[in-house]
Chains A and B, each alone.
Chain A
Amino acid sequence: MSTKGAAAATDGGKSGSAGWMLSRLADWSRENSLWPATFGLACCAIEMMSTAAGRFDIARFGSELFRASPRQADLMIVSGRVALKMAPVLKEIYDQMPEPKWVIAMGDCAACGGIFNNYAIVQGVDKIVPVDMYVPGCPPRPEALIDGIIKLQERIARRHRR
Chain B
Amino acid sequence: MVTANETMRINLGPQHPSTHGVLRLELELDGERIVSCRPVIGYLHTGIEKSMEARNWLHAIAMTDRLDYLNPLGNNLAYALAVEALFGCEIPERAVVARVLLAELTRINSHLVWVGTNAMDLGALSVFFYAFRERELLLDLFEEMSGARMMTSFIRPGGLQDDFPDGWMQRCARVLDALPPRIDEYEALLTENPLFRERTIGVGKLAADDALALGVSGPLLRASGVEHDLRKARPYCGYERFQFRVCTATAGDCYARYQVRIAELRESLSLCQQALAAMPGGPVRTSDRKVMPPLRAEFQHSMEALIHHFKHYTEGLRPPAGEAYVPVESPRGELGFYVKSDGSGRPVRVHERAPSFANLQALPSMAKGMLIADLVAIISTVDPVLGEVDR
Contacts of B135 in A (CB 8 A): 50, 53
Contacts of B132 in A (CB 8 A): 49-50, 53-55
| Distance in angstroms between the alpha carbons of A89 and B24 in the assembled complex | 11
Whether, in the assembled complex, A80 has its beta carbon less than 8 Å from a beta carbon of chain B, the answer is: yes
Is the Cβ of A116 less than 8 Å from the Cβ of B48? yes
Is the Cβ of A68 less than 8 Å from the Cβ of B17? yes
Contacts of A101 in B (CB 8 A): none
Whether, in the assembled complex, A58 has its beta carbon less than 8 Å from a beta carbon of chain B, the answer is: no
Interface of A is mostly: loop
Is the Cβ of B47 less than 8 Å from the Cβ of A121? yes
Whether, in the assembled complex, B387 has its beta carbon less than 8 Å from a beta carbon of chain A, the answer is: yes
Please encode chain A, from 77 to 96, with 1 for each CB lying within 8 Å of some chain B CB and 0 for all others. 00011011110010001000
| Minimum C-beta distance from A11 to chain B (A) | 37
Is the Cβ of B15 less than 8 Å from the Cβ of A89? yes
Whether, in the assembled complex, B14 has its beta carbon less than 8 Å from a beta carbon of chain A, the answer is: yes
Is the Cβ of A86 less than 8 Å from the Cβ of B22? yes
**A43-B151, A115-B63, A139-B150 are known contacts. Are A83 and B46 too (CB-CB below 8 A)?**
yes
Q: How large is the interface on B (under 10, 10 to 19, 20 to 34, 35 or more residues)?
A: 35 or more
Contacts of B47 in A (CB 8 A): 116, 118-121
| Distance in angstroms between the alpha carbons of A47 and B15 in the assembled complex | 18
Q: Which of B37-45, B215-223, B346-354 contacts A (4 or more CB under 8 A)?
A: B37-45
| Distance in angstroms between the alpha carbons of A50 and B149 in the assembled complex | 11
Whether, in the assembled complex, B306 has its beta carbon less than 8 Å from a beta carbon of chain A, the answer is: no
Please encode chain B, from 333 to 344, with 1 for each CB lying within 8 Å of some chain A CB and 0 for all others. 000000000000
Is the Cβ of A50 less than 8 Å from the Cβ of B136? yes
Contacts of B284 in A (CB 8 A): none
Whether, in the assembled complex, B102 has its beta carbon less than 8 Å from a beta carbon of chain A, the answer is: no
Contacts of A43 in B (CB 8 A): 66, 69, 150-151, 387
Is the Cβ of A83 less than 8 Å from the Cβ of B17? no
| Distance in angstroms between the alpha carbons of A159 and B79 in the assembled complex | 49
Within 8 A of A (CB), among B373-391: 386-387, 390
| Distance in angstroms between the alpha carbons of A43 and B387 in the assembled complex | 8
Whether, in the assembled complex, A8 has its beta carbon less than 8 Å from a beta carbon of chain B, the answer is: no
Contacting residue for A116 out of B51, B136, B149, CB 8 A = B51
Whether, in the assembled complex, A141 has its beta carbon less than 8 Å from a beta carbon of chain B, the answer is: yes
Contacts of B129 in A (CB 8 A): 53-54
| Residue among A46, A66, A119 with the highest chain B CB neighbour number at 10 A | A46
Closest residue of chain A to B72 (Cβ to Cβ) is A43
Contacting residue for B14 out of A49, A89, A120, CB 8 A = A89
Is the Cβ of B14 less than 8 Å from the Cβ of A121? no
| Minimum C-beta distance from A129 to chain B (A) | 14
Contacting residue for A83 out of B44, B50, B133, B150, CB 8 A = B44
| Distance in angstroms between the alpha carbons of A47 and B42 in the assembled complex | 22
Closest residue of chain B to A51 (Cβ to Cβ) is B132
Is the Cβ of A120 less than 8 Å from the Cβ of B46? yes
| Minimum C-beta distance from B59 to chain A (A) | 8
Please encode chain A, from 86 to 129, with 1 for each CB lying within 8 Å of some chain B CB and 0 for all others. 10010001000000000000000000000111111100000000
Whether, in the assembled complex, A134 has its beta carbon less than 8 Å from a beta carbon of chain B, the answer is: no
B-side residues, CB < 8 A to A, are 14-17, 21-22, 42-48, 50-51, 54, 62-63, 66, 69-70, 113, 128-129, 132-133, 135-136, 139, 149-151, 386-387, 390
Those 9 A-B pairs whose CB atoms lie nearest each other, nearest first: A120-B47, A53-B132, A43-B69, A118-B47, A68-B17, A86-B43, A38-B17, A85-B42, A83-B45
Can you pick out 30 interface pairs between chain A and chain B where the beta carbons lie within 8 Å of each other?
A42-B44, A42-B69, A42-B386, A42-B387, A43-B151, A43-B387, A45-B21, A46-B113, A47-B149, A47-B150, A53-B129, A53-B135, A55-B132, A55-B133, A68-B16, A80-B44, A83-B45, A83-B46, A83-B390, A84-B45, A86-B14, A86-B22, A86-B43, A89-B15, A89-B22, A115-B62, A115-B66, A118-B47, A121-B47, A139-B150
